[in-house]
Amino acid sequence: MKIIAIGRNYINHAKELNNPVPEKPVFFMKPETAIIRNNKPFFYPDFSENIHYETEIVIKIDKLGKHIAEKFAHRYYREIGIGIDFTARDLQQKAKEKGLPWEIAKAFDGSAPLSEFVSVNNFKDINNLNFSLKINNKTVQNGTTSDMIFSFDKIIAYVSQFVTLKIGDLIFTGTPAGVGPVNINDRLEAFIENEKMLDFLIK
Ligand code: ZN
């Protein structure tokens, strides 16, 4: 399986990092070794001094597809979850300045803590879904999928022009504004609507 992640999919987040609002989705990948499950802790890596959280709705592909039309894209996933796209912001900034790829800042081990997945039928409208992150019991990110520049279906249509989507692949769909650093001993709790989906520590 593979993890595809979308950058700059919320206007307010693109602006907070001084990035232009994209005309097409920006995507990058993380390897399977990035995943942390079952609320296991995230170990702060020694190669960075500025690890940021990015809270994102994650869709799980459950059907093989390539060149998927946007109008059929909803048939390719039935479950969503929430994840953190941990980013070594210091390394990413250097990569951006030099025009280098982002993997060093985005694809490292443990950079993708993931919740369990739940049926899209649990929600009235997945295109108007609230999600949030608390750190040490204080809300630091609060977003709604209605603010996405590119909807889930648009993302699937776009990405599948380049990359075949396979059963079990995951797509991180971008983060709203409010990203910031984590510190050792922080407790992170992520919610979809009012349901706590993730609860883990930084060690
Ligand atoms: Zn992200």
As to burial, measured by CB atoms within 10 angstroms (0-12 exposed, 13-18 middle, 19+ buried), residue 54 is: buried
Q: How far is the CA of 108 from the centre of ligand 1 (A)?
A: 13
84-92 average pLDDT score: 97
pTM score > 0.75 for this model? yes
**Per residue in 100-145, pLDDT tens?**
999 999 999 999 999 999 999 999 999 999 999 999 999 999 999 9
Partners of 116 in the β-ladder? none
Tokens of 49: 């001094």
Query: What pLDDT shows up at residue 14?
Result: 73
Q: What is the mean pLDDT of the chain?
A: 96
Instruction: Identify the weakest region by mean pLDDT among 41-45, 98-102, 198-202.
Output: 98-102
Tokens of 131: 């999600």
For the chain, the structural domain boundaries read 3-201
Q: How far is the CA of 179 from the centre of ligand 1 (A)?
A: 9
Cα–Cα dist 63/191, whole Å: 26
The CATH number of domain 3-201 is 3.90.850.10: yes
Q: How far is the CA of 178 from the centre of ligand 1 (A)?
A: 12
Residue identified by tokens 């950079």 is 111
Q: How far is the CA of 55 from the centre of ligand 1 (A)?
A: 7
Q: How far is the CA of 121 from the centre of ligand 1 (A)?
A: 25
Q: How far is the CA of 6 from the centre of ligand 1 (A)?
A: 6
